[in-house]
Amino acid sequence: MSSEKAKNIFTDYLSKKGLRNTWQRLSILDTFLSSGGHITADELYNAVKRKHSDIGSATVHRNLKLMSECGVADEIKIGNKKTRYEQKYGHGHHDHLICTKCGKFIEVHNDKIERLQEKLAEANDFIPQRHKLEIYGLCKKCK
Amino acid sequence: MSSEKAKNIFTDYLSKKGLRNTWQRLSILDTFLSSGGHITADELYNAVKRKHSDIGSATVHRNLKLMSECGVADEIKIGNKKTRYEQKYGHGHHDHLICTKCGKFIEVHNDKIERLQEKLAEANDFIPQRHKLEIYGLCKKCK
DNA sequence: TTTAGTGCAAAGGCTTTGCAGATGT
DNA sequence: ACATCTGCAAAGCCTTTGCACTAAA
């Protein structure tokens, strides 16, 4: 899925809710989409600030919330560390292997697991929308 | 796995690290283990306070951290909501179905997925220790 | 023109820390 | 004895909110 799609989802969401297209909003979205994912609110704020020094951190938070609401961004929290936001479109869905020693992130994907998760949800009278799988352990280097 | 096991893991961890057995520590552990899981730091603080009115919230936080370190408790964060702590031993491993509308938690378990996760980790030169699977969607009532 | 959005700064909410006294070992 | 723990209160850190102003539509 391209980041074009994410942009459309976001702008559709805005117009559906009667919200407005401000340059701040679009700049935050663009910066987020080109960040490659796993960014914190503060990192995003600073990245946007580099281009537009007069952006406020509250605005970044407000829009990050909006982006989570419409599904363009996903909140992920790894262990005790800070909340990070990940792109949902633009580099495909994936799960995470997280090294408990060095903190390394490995992104993985497995269709079988995806399908089993859907089955599991349906078996419980549940309509799955999205999911999060994190496997903690030791990476190649640390084991 | 019984909560006896969790207790042993905790006390072993303490003695290994030269830490002490205080009544606060044991009371926090007991309360946590008998809570059934999915408790917030604040809820745990209040639960312990009912028995021992002179407990401090800092102590609960310090010990919750300790419990996470040794693997007796697991931090889980659901959506935008508060961080909750879950027992790792005492009521078996399970994954979560989380309703994005009403916030309902459903605990599920599927051996096939568990095994696939292990394979996935191993295929990436990764030694899995534990994992977290959350499926977000709509529950029976909300769909 | 109307109403949402923004920046700023203040307020919140939860977690962590510093400290002096208490307490395991 | 002596190093760890604890409770308290203060400090931190990030997020949210109130307000007056700005700017989409």
Residue A20 lies in a domain: yes
B140 touches chain A (CB under 8 A): yes
State the nearest Cα–Cα gap between A24 and chain B, in angstroms. 23
Residue A142 lies in a domain: no
Q: How far is the CA of B33 from the C1' of C23 (A)?
A: 25
pLDDT for A43 equals 94
Measuring CA to CA, which residue among A103, A78, A56 is closest to residue B76?
A: A78
A18 touches chain B (CB under 8 A): no
State which residue of chain B sits closest to A140, comparing Cα positions: B125
State the nearest Cα–Cα gap between B118 and chain A, in angstroms. 9
Question: Long-range CB contacts (< 8 A, 24+ apart) of A104-112?
Answer: A104/A139, A104/A141, A104/A142, A105/A38, A105/A78, A106/A139, A106/B124, A106/B126, A108/B120, A108/B124, A110/B116, A110/B120, A112/B116
pLDDT for A1 equals 46
State which residue of chain A sits closest to B65, comparing Cα positions: A80
Residue B75 lies in a domain: yes
Residue A71 lies in a domain: yes
The answer to whether residues B108 and B63 belong to one domain is no
Residue nearest C8 (alpha carbon to C1'): A56
Residue A3 is encoded by which pair of tokens? 């980041």
Residue B78 lies in a domain: yes
The answer to whether residues A102 and A120 belong to one domain is yes
Measuring CA to CA, which residue among B33, B40, B91 is closest to residue B61?
A: B40
A12 backbone dihedrals φ, ψ, rounded to 5° = -60, -45
The answer to whether residues A70 and A51 belong to one domain is yes
Range of the domain at A112: 95-137
The answer to whether residues B81 and B102 belong to one domain is no
3-state secondary structure labels for all residues of chain B: CCHHHHHHHHHHHHHHCCCCCCHHHHHHHHHHHHCCCCECHHHHHHHHHHHCCCCCHHHHHHHHHHHHHCCCEEEEECCCCCEEEEECCCCCCCEEEEECCCCCEEEECCHHHHHHHHHHHHHCCCEEEEEEEEEEEECCCCC
What is the residue-wise DSSP string for A61-102?
HHHHHHHHHTTSEEEEE-TTS-EEEEESSSS---EEEEETTT
The answer to whether residues A47 and A13 belong to one domain is yes
Residue B114 lies in a domain: yes
**For the domain that residue A76 is a member of, what is the CATH number?**
1.10.10.10
CB A34 within 8 A of CB A7: no
The answer to whether residues A7 and A65 belong to one domain is yes
Residue B36 lies in a domain: yes
User: How many domains does one find in chain A?
Assistant: 2
Judge whether residue A79 has pLDDT over 90.
Answer: no
**For the domain that residue A132 is a member of, what is the CATH number?**
3.30.1490.190
Confidence class of residue A113 from pLDDT cuts 50, 70 and 90?
confident
| pLDDT, averaged across chain A | 84
Question: Which of A78, A97, A102, A105 to mutate to probe the B interface, most B CBs <10 Å?
Answer: A97
For residue B63, which nucleotide's C1' is closest to its Cα?
D5
pTM of the model: 0.72
Which tens digit of pLDDT belongs to each residue from A2-46?
577 889 999 999 999 999 999 999 999 999 999 876 789 999 999
Which of these three, A49, A66, A87, is where a domain ends? A87
The answer to whether residues A69 and A118 belong to one domain is no
B110 touches chain A (CB under 8 A): yes
Q: Please identify every stretch of chain B with a pLDDT value under 70, giving residue numbers as ranges.
A: 1-2, 37, 77-81, 88-93, 100-103, 143
pLDDT for B97 equals 85
B22 touches strand C (CB under 7 A): yes
Judge whether residue A63 has pLDDT over 90.
Answer: yes
Cβ <8 Å between B110 and A124: no
Interface size, chain A vs chain B, as Cβ–Cβ contacts under 8 Å: 121
Give contacts of B66 with chain A, Cβ < 8 Å.
none
Residue A124 carries which side chain, given as an amino acid letter? N
pLDDT for B79 equals 57
The answer to whether residues A43 and A112 belong to one domain is no
The answer to whether residues B111 and B127 belong to one domain is yes
Q: Which residue in B77, B132, B140 is closest to A125 by CB distance?
A: B140
Residue A11 lies in a domain: yes
B129 touches strand C (CB under 7 A): no
Q: Please tell me the least confidently modeled range out of A72-76, A112-116, B118-122.
A: A72-76
CA dist A108 and A116 (Å) reads 16
The answer to whether residues B51 and B23 belong to one domain is yes
The answer to whether residues A44 and A61 belong to one domain is yes
The answer to whether residues B12 and B32 belong to one domain is yes
Task: Provide the chain B residues 51-70 that lie in CB contact (below 8 A) with chain A.
Answer: 65, 68
pLDDT for A129 equals 73
